[in-house]
């Protein structure tokens, strides 16, 4: 088998197969479609930590570039505003 870096790069199709491990089946190696991976990712729920302000996010170990949301108890009085840690 050739080194993976020697294979051509292409734009994937939804029906293309990706190799992976099914940890629910004794780590069996299986194929997954690109479409199944996208469906799984789009159904994922992302919960952001909430802080009063950027300083509080820093104390909470959020690093520059990471996302957090406002609590509504700080200068921004609306909860749930998505912020980027500065």
Burial class (CB in 10 A: 0-12, 13-18, 19+), 3: exposed
pLDDT tens digits for range 14-51:
999 999 999 999 999 999 999 999 999 888 888 899 99
pLDDT value, residue 44: 83
For 69-81, how does the pLDDT look when each residue is reduced to its tens digit (9 = 90+)?
999 999 999 999 9
Q: What is the pLDDT of residue 62?
A: 96
pTM for this one?
A: 0.52
CA atoms of 69 and 81, how far apart (whole Å)? 5
Instruction: Decide if pLDDT at 1 tops 80.
Output: no
């Amino acid at each position: 088998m050739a080194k993976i870096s020697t294979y051509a790069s292409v734009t994937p199709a939804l029906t293309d197969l990706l190799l992976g491990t099914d940890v629910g089946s004794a780590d069996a190696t299986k194929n997954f479609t690109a479409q199944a991976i996208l469906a799984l990712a789009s159904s994922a729920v992302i919960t952001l930590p909430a802080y009063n302000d950027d300083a509080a996010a820093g104390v909470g170990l959020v690093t520059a570039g990471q996302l957090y949301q406002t609590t509504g108890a700080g200068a921004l009085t609306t909860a749930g505003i998505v912020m980027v840690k500065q």
